[in-house]
Structure 1
Amino acid sequence: MYHVIIGVDDNEERAVACARAVAELPGAESGARVTLIHSFTDNPSGASATQLGSVRDATELLEEHDIEVSVTESSGDPAEQILDVAETEDADLIVVAGRKRSPTGKALFGSVTQSVILNTDRPVMVAGSPDQ
């Protein structure tokens, strides 16, 4: 059995694209377990990750494929949190969503995907939105 970490933000399309990419991996239905992680950068209402549409949609898709799913939530820098969970859980694969950003947007805001790729020695799969 292999363990996959999926970093999930608030975007349902990206979350489902990541979940679908994992569900389509060879042997996923019989040999994968997934931890979805959402890192809150601002959560004044005290919401739970399981209340987010993106987390619910990804969970539902994975469960439809008989893949074991758990949800983890944290706060802080999303890339750091994804990497911490991957290390703690000894993940075999990290899955994050890709999205188009302008060079200025990348410079000003950074990129969670880029940070994850550059700061881990674990395999990383980048799944895009269906419209990209």
Structure 2
Amino acid sequence: MRAIYATDLSAASEAAIQNETCLECLGRIGVDTIHLVTVIPSNVHAGMPGMNFSKRREQGLTRYQNVMEDAGFDTETHVVRGTPHRRINGIAEAEKADVTIIGSRGQSPLNNRVIGSTARNLARTTVVPLLVNRIERSTDEPDVLREHLFQRVLYATDFSENATRAFDAFQYLRHATQEATLVHVESPKDATSEADPAEQLASLADTLSQWDIETNVEVRRGDPAEEILDVEAAVTPTTTLVGSRGQSRMRRLLLGSVSEDIIAQATGNVYLVPPPRTA
């Protein structure tokens, strides 16, 4: 598997890249090649006083490259200029990446757990699965919040095609997963279905049990995002797995409101699976 690892060379990014357990988890799910990417914003120019960004970022990426190569990954570096999420997505497409990874600070005391703009824009436009790796906030020496990335997974489903595509990610995540909680939320707005959601979740749980993953299921009723976040708070998964939904040709792969709320407000890591590239 090929991964795009986006970094702004901040302390938060370094915390994730330098974390041996996080890197080991990526290796377990099959990642063997990593493209380290940093983007110099278009409005930053080389001639600006003290702004030798290209050289500084190349030096920073070389340091990270050494860490990842020591961990056993084939690693390439990319220093590019432009709008961060667009350039990151462009490289992901060009390199036929299987996943994009970005570190993001956790709760914001001012904005109630709002993720950074690049992570948010990637979540809305990503062309490949996106792992948002939560980093501690309000500290000069941050660390990742939950370093065993896929050890305990919370999978949220509405049984749609997009949710099924996200569940398919267990084909490779299972190599690092020990426990899973499967949750479906019945919304008052949903049309009545003849299918029993508990039975549908039980069927998915049977699949995971064949891979020796200990699984629990929950059916709730209420606002989907609120209920899923409530389950996350109760079971403290290392990663929440969700699918996103393409809604607009003009803005490509816009997140549905539920997925957007989860990726913005979840306490732990989030693994977001978008529709296929052809969507």
TM-score bracket for the superposition, by shorter chain length:
0.7 to 0.9
TM-score by length of 1: 0.74
Runs of 4+ displaced beyond 4 Å: 43-48, 129-132
> Is residue 5 of structure 1 aligned with residue 154 of structure 2?
yes
Is the contact made by 1:36 and 1:72 (CA closer than 8 Å) also made in structure 2?
yes
TM-score by length of 2: 0.38
> Is residue 74 of structure 1 aligned with residue 220 of structure 2?
yes
Alignment-derived partner of residue 77 in structure 2: none
Alignment-derived partner of residue 274 in structure 2: 128
Is the contact made by 2:239 and 2:269 (CA closer than 8 Å) also made in structure 1?
yes
In 2: Cα distance, 1:50 partner to 1:92 partner: 24
Structure 1: unaligned runs, 5 residues or longer? none
Is the contact made by 2:166 and 2:241 (CA closer than 8 Å) also made in structure 1?
yes
* 1:22 Cα offset (Å): 3.0
Identity over the aligned pairs, expressed in percent?
29
* 1:16 Cα offset (Å): 3.2
In 1: Cα distance, 2:197 partner to 2:174 partner: 28
Is the contact made by 1:37 and 1:71 (CA closer than 8 Å) also made in structure 2?
yes
* 1:66 Cα offset (Å): 2.4
More helix by share: 1
In 2: Cα distance, 1:95 partner to 1:58 partner: 14
The letter for the 1-side match of 2:156 is G
Structure 2: unaligned runs, 5 residues or longer? 1-147
Is the contact made by 1:5 and 1:36 (CA closer than 8 Å) also made in structure 2?
yes
Higher mean alpha-carbon deviation, 1-10 vs 32-41, is at 1-10
Alignment-derived partner of residue 27 in structure 1: 175
* 1:6 Cα offset (Å): 0.5
- Deviation track 1:35-67 (CA, whole Å, cap 9, x = no partner) reads 010000137689752233xx3553343233222
Alignment-derived partner of residue 16 in structure 1: 164
* 1:114 Cα offset (Å): 0.5
Instruction: Summarize the alignment of residues 1-132 of structure 1 with structure 2, pairs less than 5 Å apart.
Output: 2-11=151-160, 13-25=161-173, 27-28=175-176, 31-42=177-188, 48-52=196-200, 55-56=201-202, 58-102=204-248, 111-129=257-275, 132=279
Aligned residues: 124
Alignment-derived partner of residue 21 in structure 2: none
Higher relative contact order (CA 8 A, sep 6+): 1
In 2: Cα distance, 1:128 partner to 1:7 partner: 14
In 2: Cα distance, 1:26 partner to 1:41 partner: 29
